[in-house]
A and B are shown apart, each in its own frame.
Chain A
């Protein structure tokens, strides 16, 4: 009898110990996997910096503002300015082109036709834009958009900053739209009704109530889509003309940081490879900063 009780107690103690151990292990596994993410991110920065060191040692900080990209042996010199300029110009242009389009779509979805069937269809189609692979955008730009632009009188056989920006603009529309649409939908009805009751028309309500109260969400959406544009590779590579020069206008050819890596990686080693990795590091930092700003704005909205 006594013995039986004792055994039961021991047994339950054992069970508890066993369970505590298993819980500890489970918690350990969860913790470990989150370390994996931190380890991957840390490792990425470490490897990029390590790979970029030979280039940064040879050229110093002038790597960033030198516009001389010369792989000729003996006269090797690498400067990233053409690509930094190309990246920023194409992305800014893409953002400007996409602004009116994605703003219209988010008003269509979040205000004019909110919750209707037609909004659902339009929303699905805009989402599908995000699903098209970059290389397919590139093909379409090359075989459909470019001939059209040549007919309109674009120089350089239709290649260049302008063509790349148009395709980029289409590619980033879904990213800008999804966030600003969500925020516009969340604007309280009371606010809008108050404006209507004062006799405001719908467009007046949009510009004096909806846009001001959804402002930071809309801006954050555009910042995040700008971050997308900075790193796009294939479509840009196929359309920008791949000239290692600082673009001298909207219709000039050029190269972006992503497209020069894709283009020149194949035959690269030594100092050139290191320079491409250094460009990768700069691109990583640039997109990281832009995304962090976007996320910060979203977080501040709550």
Chain B
């Protein structure tokens, strides 16, 4: 079981990883790295879920974390499929350059 002293630090680490991922989504222009930062945010949420699960002696957090992993895998498959499509029609991989949907 997770000790009382370590639990806040685990939550702090999860918050740090999440905000780091959010920062990466905002400042990086390579869509592959943006996807990796989204994975980082999902992993941070998983860390918080499993931490609470261990702290409260309830396995529900682990079930939710499992669902999050499934959703993340599906998201990566579709996202990387989109990127290969964008690349195969000759576009440069740059999120600043791929802004047609704003127009």
A, B from the same assembly: no
